[in-house]
Amino acid sequence: MAAALSVGEITRRIVREARPGSVVAASGVWADRIRAALPGSLGVWALSDAGLMDGAPLSVADAAAIARGGYIDLAVIEAGQVDRNGSIAGAQSASGLSIPGNAVDLSSGAQRVVALLPNAGRDGVLNLAESLSLPADGVNCVDTVICDVGVINVAGGQFVLTETAPGWTAADLQAMAGVSLSVSPALRRIDLAAPSGDAVSKVYSDGVGAVADLPDGATVFIDGFGGPGGMAHYLLVALRDLGSRGLTIVSNTAGIARVVSFGTPPGRTAIDHSVLIENGQVAKAIASFPVSPSVSRPSEFELAYRRGEVELELVPQGTLAERLRAGGAGVLAFYTPTGAGTLISEGKESRTIDGREYILEYGLRADYAIIRAHRADERGNLVYRGTSRNFNAVMAPAARITVAEVDEIVAAGELNPEEIVTPGVFVQRIVKRPDGFSGYE
């Protein structure tokens, strides 16, 4: 019988599943093997269960949040068993005990799942089943099975053989499968050539171009604390000039930097959310501090609210931060004691836990986030400075498209991994703040 593929050859076949700019996650030694085999031109992000993203350290909790948040394009899970509905038992669960490791996170959060059965040719069995006899770590999630003798797609309750290793036939694989295999009419030999392609650049030449497709009615995350620090002033002006209407803005404030004047040079006016409100672009704000601390100096949002032009959803600051974090981490809802028994709890589900009342809050997601950071590399990894870290870092993972305004863009690899707060996997676009641009009018 022909030789089975080596570990290196299996790795090369796995890498062919990656697409330029995508996120590929794997566990154990396979993560290191895949990362080493990925062509640099693809710009693929390699995530390991040890909490490494392209070699930069993440916490295991953050790595799991990336999975739950839907950022993984391809998950590679070493399997103990796969059934024809695409359910999988991880290799660690093959003893019969449920030892999921990260298989549960990967199988539930990835866009595509590849089940890896690396020793089929050596063991003489493919570990395919009509239904799982081992504890399931993922249900109806596997798209493709890669083993050392072939590639099998899982679709419509069928195992479809699409590729065979050199020297192996469809009959050989059927003999060791233990279940019936359909054979693709386009059955071919496994291709081990390195994939080609280049990742799309994230760097934009100007602010308007970076937000040009932000549509009417979008939900937009915008940083903001007490003063003007940390806000993407250049992008705020670009969004004003773009003119998108009916926006829901989510921010700690709804534009009070202009009236507070904290940190603002004498005779100048801070650029903040007010530029959008004055321009009639905002329909609703979700915020913690939407009003001015001075009754005699109301903010633009307050004035628009009094006129009935905008809606307001008031959220305690800590709850806002957690709703953002939960949204980015794929946590749909959570219970918190904050606001229980107050106006904040009106109309919300509540539950008594350990004798204390908690209210249900939902994670927040947005179509866009316009955020501010100090430095970025070309892959979108961000380093913050001062107050720019407050809400920007927690907003970035929770938006479909995150646009970062930065002071400096450097080549990939030039940032110290220990300084990176927001991994570039959460950032889709970068624009350099023009030299001489001021956050004040």
Q: Which of 164, 189, 214 is the last residue of a domain?
A: 189
Query: Residue 16, Cβ neighbours under 10 Å: how many?
Result: 15
Same domain, 222 and 115: no
Residue 158 is part of a domain; what is its CATH number?
3.40.1080.10
Do 95 and 25 fall into the same domain? yes
| pLDDT band (50, 70, 90) for residue 99 | low
pLDDT at residue 440 in the model: 82
Q: How confident is the model at residue 100 (pLDDT cuts 50, 70, 90)?
A: low
Do 314 and 361 meet the contact criterion of CB atoms below 8 Å apart? Answer: no
Domain that holds residue 316: 203-432
pLDDT higher at 365 or 296: 365
Exposure class string for 335-352: b at 16+ Cβ within 10 A, else e: ebebbbeeebbeeeeeee
Q: Rounded to whole angstroms, how far apart are CA atoms 374 and 376?
A: 7
For residue 103, the cross-strand partners are none
For residue 1, name the pLDDT band (cuts at 50, 70, 90).
low
Q: Does residue 197 form part of some domain? A: no
User: Do 365 and 388 reside in the same domain of the chain?
Assistant: yes
E strand spans, 70-137: 74-83, 88-90, 112-117, 128-129
β-strands 375-377, 382-383 pairing: antiparallel
- Evaluate whether residue 439 is within a structural domain: no
Mean pLDDT to the nearest integer, 217-234: 88
Residues 129 and 165 occupy one common structural domain: yes
| Cα 245 from Cα 373, distance rounded (Å) | 26
Residue 440 lies in a domain: no
Residue 286 inside a domain? The answer is yes
- What contacts 390, CB < 8 A, 6 or more positions away? 223, 225, 230, 252
Per-residue confidence at 97, pLDDT binned at 50, 70, 90? low
Does 323 lie in the same domain as 413? yes
The last residue of one of the domains, among 132, 157, 189, is: 189
3-state class percentages of the chain: helix first, strand second, coil last, to nearest 5: 25, 30, 45
Task: Report in angstroms the alpha-carbon separations of 416 from 165, 259, 382, 412.
Answer: 42, 38, 10, 10
How does pLDDT run across 323-333, given as a tens digit for each residue? 999 999 999 99
Whether residue 37 is predicted with pLDDT greater than 80 in this model: the reply is: yes
Q: pLDDT averaged over the chain?
A: 92
Mean predicted confidence (pLDDT) in 188-197 = 94
Show Cβ contacts of residue 40 under 8 Å, excluding neighbours closer than 6 positions.
none
User: Does residue 380 belong to any structural domain of this protein?
Assistant: yes
- Residue 98: pLDDT over 70: no
> Of 133, 156, 189, which residue constitutes the final position of a domain?
189
Instruction: Say whether pLDDT at 351 is over 70.
Output: yes
- DSSP per residue, 312-338: EEE--HHHHHHHHHHHHTT--EEEEST
134-177, pLDDT tens digit by residue?
989 999 999 999 999 999 999 999 999 999 999 999 999 999 99
How many domains does the chain contain in total? 2
pLDDT at res. 111: 94
Q: What CA–CA distance (Å, rounded) separates 299 from 276?
A: 12
pLDDT at 62: 84
CB 16 within 8 A of CB 196: no
